[in-house]
Structure 1
Amino acid sequence: MAAAARVAPKDYFTPEEWSPLSTKSSWKGPALVAHAWIVIGLAAAVAMAFPIAIPLAVMIIGARQLGLAILMHDAAHGALHPNLKVNDWLADNLTPGGLVAYRTYHLGHHKYAQQAEDPDLALSAPFPITRLSLRRKIVRDLTGQTYYKQRWAGLVKRLSERKAGEPLWPILKDAAIARKRFLIGMVATVAVTAPFGFWWAWPVLWLLPQATWLPMITRLRNIAEHACIAKDEPDPLRHARTTRANLLERAFLAPYWVNYHCEHHMFMHVPCYNLPRTHRLLKAKGVLPRMLTAPGYLDVLRQASSRPAKQDRGGNPTPEDRGVVKAVIQ
């Protein structure tokens, strides 16, 4: 089982250059977590005061929900705080949580990036796909179908397959334990907002972004990072893609410098807030042309959806290209 090739910082940076890049701040990581929650709170407050702003708030909140997941990802690398206990506490209590299991899984992805043993390989292997297939996936994301499949379909199936006489309580108890944070957040938010007439705040301003905008931008982020990269790629500068992101893309699609994914795979312990500086130094040293990069997210999506649609004898798309493609972006 061969691990993916890796690079050494000393091959690209002097010790004086590398030290500030790899240094973990005691305040920047926590400040980013606070920033995510403050943006969520402000967007929700504006939407409650001016309901016409709800669609915009859903996009902003969904992007910060992804941002919290990105910060948990940083914590999986021990990059959210120099004290590992503080690092893990922040991730387990102020981001989506489940850090220990996620860290084990995700470090396996880094160890075997784009190799046969990469646990994330199935996410990038199906690409390129057709434009029609990509559109159908985005529709499933924005209509909550992806969210339902990932978060609730298993429970519904378990309930529907319950044998006659089998008690219902153990199933519901296990489901409640598995979704404890979700339920606590729901109860706490409704308890705070309902007395002021905003009983709808939690389903509209937390659940709706989580079930629609978040799955879509998570899909687009995954596509940008690893789609259309060859399996068993030997070059460690091409295991992941860095995508240029403008201000709107950083606000609604790629928060907290997640677009610098090639640099992240090259130097996975560099905190996210140091990735732009890492990018600039590599560019100044002439390394950027050897790295896998894209000028923007639309460019990546065009490449990822470039497979021609197959047609039957009547000139109509085949069943496969009507969207029945066996790929799941999580």
Structure 2
Amino acid sequence: MPAAPRIAPGQLFAPEEWAPFQSRSAVAGPLLVLHCWGVIALAVALGIWIPWLIPLSIMIVGTRQLGLAILMHEAAHGALSRNLKLNDFLGHWLCAVPIGASLNNYRPYHLSHHRFAQQAEDPDLVLSAPFPVSPASLRRKLIRDLTGQTFFKQRVLLPLAAMKGSRAQAARLREPSDSAPRRPTDDHAYEALVTGRSILPFLLVNAGMLAAFSLAGVWWAYFALWLLPMATWFPMVTRIRNIAEHACVEGSAEDAFRAARTTRANWLERAFIAPYWVNFHAEHHLFMHVPCWKLPTLHRALHTRPEGERMEVAGGYAEVLKRATTRPKAETAAAG
């Protein structure tokens, strides 16, 4: 069972250069959680105040729901707070539970992904292995996300199967990918099974949110401005994130510098696709305990070293999706 290739910070940085990347902030993580919920609250208020802006609010809220997942991911690495109890409280109750996840379930799964990144034992390998796919296949996937089909499978069918303890039934519910038959990857099955394990906290927190909206006299806003983004925009940007992080990166199983992709995101992409520096994924895989808000600085530092030139860096998410739907020339010729 080979582990993913690793590199020690000392191979690239002097101790005094690496020291700033090791430190944990007492306030940065909690402020990011506050920021995420603040953006959600403002987007919801905007949709209530100006109903014709509800589509914009849906995109903002859905992206910040992904932001909550990203901050849960930070908590899984112990990066939200130097106080581990506060780290886990914030990561679980304020980030994971509202979107139907569980920090306790996510952490061992995700650390296994880091240990075996792009190896056969990587539990996330199924998310990148089917790519590249045809443009038509990707369109179908994104349509399933935006029409709520992925959400229904994640949050209803698979959790029900998981709660019944029927692995065979859960496997039958997972659609095979278009390029690799019988591969259970398309609709983020892992997230759905986590939801199944944490369904009661999710329902209780969301019932509380519905009650709060109702007491404010805008019960409909819970469905239009919280549940609808979770059922549409959130699955779509989660899929795009998964594609961008690992799909179609040559040499990712052999070279620590190519275990993942970094995507240069402009302000619009950061607002609607990639919040909280999630686009710096190659840096994260090299040094997974560096907090997310330090990844841009780490990116610049790495690219002053010759080794940094080996890293996979895309110019934007449109470029990533183009690569994910373009067959290698050799493969295309063989198919012809």
Q: Same fold (TM over 0.5)?
A: yes
Report the count of equivalent residues: 295
| 1:94 corresponding residue in structure 2 | 94
Structure 1 residue aligned with 2:125, among 121, 124, 136? Answer: 121
Please identify the structure whose Cα radius of gyration is greater.
1
Structure 1 residue aligned with 2:151, among 110, 134, 147? Answer: 147
Matched to 2:321, the amino acid is L
Measured after TM superposition, the shift of residue 288 of structure 1 is 2.8
| 1:268 corresponding residue in structure 2 | 288
Describe the shift of the 1:176–1:10 C-alpha distance in structure 2 as closer, same or farther (beyond 3 A): closer
Judge conservation of contact 2:5–2:253 (CA < 8 Å) in 1. Answer: no
Distance 2:263 2:129 in 1: 19
Measured after TM superposition, the shift of residue 176 of structure 1 is 9.4
TM, length-normalised to structure 2: 0.83
| 2:140 corresponding residue in structure 1 | 136
Distance 1:152 1:252 in 2: 26
Moved more, 244-253 or 189-198: 189-198
| 1:40 corresponding residue in structure 2 | 40
Measured after TM superposition, the shift of residue 229 of structure 1 is 2.8
Moved more, 229-238 or 10-19: 229-238
SS of the residue corresponding to residue 284 of structure 1 reads coil
Distance 2:196 2:142 in 1: 29
Give % identity: 56
Moved more, 110-119 or 10-19: 10-19
Structure 1 spans left out of the alignment, 5+ residues: 161-174, 309-330
Aligned-residue RMSD, C-alpha:
2.1
Distance 1:152 1:83 in 2: 35
Moved more, 224-233 or 125-134: 224-233
Judge conservation of contact 2:159–2:196 (CA < 8 Å) in 1. Answer: no
SS of the residue corresponding to residue 219 of structure 2 reads coil
Judge conservation of contact 1:114–1:230 (CA < 8 Å) in 2. Answer: no
Describe the shift of the 1:11–1:133 C-alpha distance in structure 2 as closer, same or farther (beyond 3 A): same
Judge conservation of contact 2:162–2:196 (CA < 8 Å) in 1. Answer: no
Judge conservation of contact 2:155–2:196 (CA < 8 Å) in 1. Answer: no
Structure 2 spans left out of the alignment, 5+ residues: 165-194, 329-336
Matched to 1:181, the amino acid is P
| 2:253 corresponding residue in structure 1 | 233
Measured after TM superposition, the shift of residue 115 of structure 1 is 0.6
Measured after TM superposition, the shift of residue 81 of structure 1 is 0.9
Measured after TM superposition, the shift of residue 212 of structure 1 is 0.3
Matched to 2:207, the amino acid is V
Could you list the per-position Cα deviations for residues 6-46 of structure 1 after superposition, in whole angstroms to 9, with x for gaps in the alignment?
01101111111111112110100000000000000011011
Judge conservation of contact 2:257–2:307 (CA < 8 Å) in 1. Answer: no
Structure 2 residue aligned with 1:197, among 179, 196, 217? Answer: 217
Matched to 1:39, the amino acid is V
Judge conservation of contact 2:245–2:260 (CA < 8 Å) in 1. Answer: yes
Distance 2:158 2:197 in 1: 15
TM, length-normalised to structure 1: 0.85
Matched to 2:134, the amino acid is T
Could you list the per-position Cα deviations for residues 219-240 of structure 1 after superposition, in whole angstroms to 9, with x for gaps in the alignment?
0000000001357721000010
Matched to 1:130, the amino acid is S
